Structure 1
Amino acid sequence: MEKGKQPLVIAIAAVSGGGKTTITTRLNATLQNSKGLYFDEYDFDGPEDIINWVDNGANYDEWNLTPLIRDLKSLFTESLDYVVLDFPFAYKHSDTKDLIDLAVFIDTPLDIAMARRLIRDHHGSTAEDIIAEMSNYILHGRRGYLEMLNSIKPDSDIIVDGTLTVAEIINVIIEKIDTNRLLS
């Protein structure tokens, strides 16, 4: 990387259970001179009722992303080549859109994403808890997933098939990064 040049910021988006964290972690480990930032490590001020937020137009600027933005900008002072950002909003938030160089959407089918969430979040839960989670998804939560498919996915630079293996997804992203480098 040239001295004084900011790192390439790669934002990884997907629905919950779609692979954001896994891909961010693996891509960060694969790229040389890279650091990762993870959306779920922050406690953001944002809408209290996500479904109500979605139903009212999903204004991404309602989220106060100041802590993440501060940490991201602090990485710009380091001599990094890449920052891999686990970030579900792609270019939709006005305070972060100019900080992202490449937005990737992992297009994971909703049934697979839900199965992953159940395995991840409900290991050891009772059958009643799992049924309640599935009922909530059908009645309300699915709208949040569809919001991402309708707004984040088309707003991304690259859409990767979420049914591919992690290694295949990483290869697709790296090929895109290499192609962008050749075009620059």
Structure 2
Amino acid sequence: MLIEQFHNKTVKIEDFQTTYIILSIENKTFRFDFKNKKESFVKKKEIGVLALYKQHPLLINHNETYCETYINSSPEKIDLFVDDIQKSIEESLKGWRHWKDYIKIKTGINEQVFLQNIQKGSGKLLNAPFSILEKLEKVCSKHHVLIRHFGDKIIKPHQLLMINNQFVIAEDFIFRNT
């Protein structure tokens, strides 16, 4: 049984653990195990509409490899450059994550170092999924800023199961008899 057949159906979260979720759908109970769960935010039992996504702003971090990016020249207008970076990243995230996560998490730098590196035109800029890097490249081109990135562009498909504002991201959701 595939979880896809329950997309847009009203479900009730009966139980959940770190490795599975049990849902009541049309008066029947189904257990779905998480294959290689990457992230979850399931906190309470509730009724809602099940949505399953293969493309979603929350999936960017898991579907795409990260590229480490370094700045090699400084912009004329630092504030405008930073604003454009923020806008380009937020355009991809659509409010689901914070743009500064790609500066602070997995980079070893903080916002102050990020701004210093931009000012001096040298150093680590961010570490982000490659679709965000592609938008960053356009911003850098607009501001005549040189960057260099490291990392391969590889897609690793994951799925997002969402019920109201609760979600699980995993490679797959596997049906198990309850």
TM-score computed with the length of structure 2 as normaliser: 0.24
Report which of the two structures shows the higher radius of gyration computed on alpha carbons.
Answer: 2
Q: Which has the higher strand share?
A: 2
Q: Which has the higher helix share?
A: 1
